[in-house]
Amino acid sequence: MTPQRFSECLLHIRWTPINIASALQCELSWIEALEAGNEEVPTGLATWLETLAKAHEALPPPTTYRSKV
């Protein structure tokens, strides 16, 4: 997975680097290194992110349900 695709996946699932670091219980600096291309994205993580991103691409969030008063 390229650093660009890593960032695109995060955008599709609407996560910030802090969100994914929290979900993975890892250091934010490691996530930043993945985004910058200073570390290679592990295969399992890449597969997981691609699956999440594809699901979000296929099923965009519903429109708002706020009442219109």
SS in 3 state form for the chain?
CCHHHHHHHHHHCCCCHHHHHHHHCCCHHHHHHHHHCCCCCCHHHHHHHHHHHHHHHHCCCCCCCCCCC
Q: Would 46 be classed as within a structural domain?
A: yes
Residue 8 confidence class, pLDDT cut points 50, 70, 90: very high
Q: Give the pTM.
A: 0.80
Q: Would 52 be classed as within a structural domain?
A: yes
More reliable by pLDDT, 68 or 29: 29
Total domains in the fold of the chain: 1
**Tens of pLDDT, residues 20-67:** 999 999 999 999 999 999 999 999 999 999 999 999 888 877 777 766
Q: Would 27 be classed as within a structural domain?
A: yes
Q: Would 69 be classed as within a structural domain?
A: no
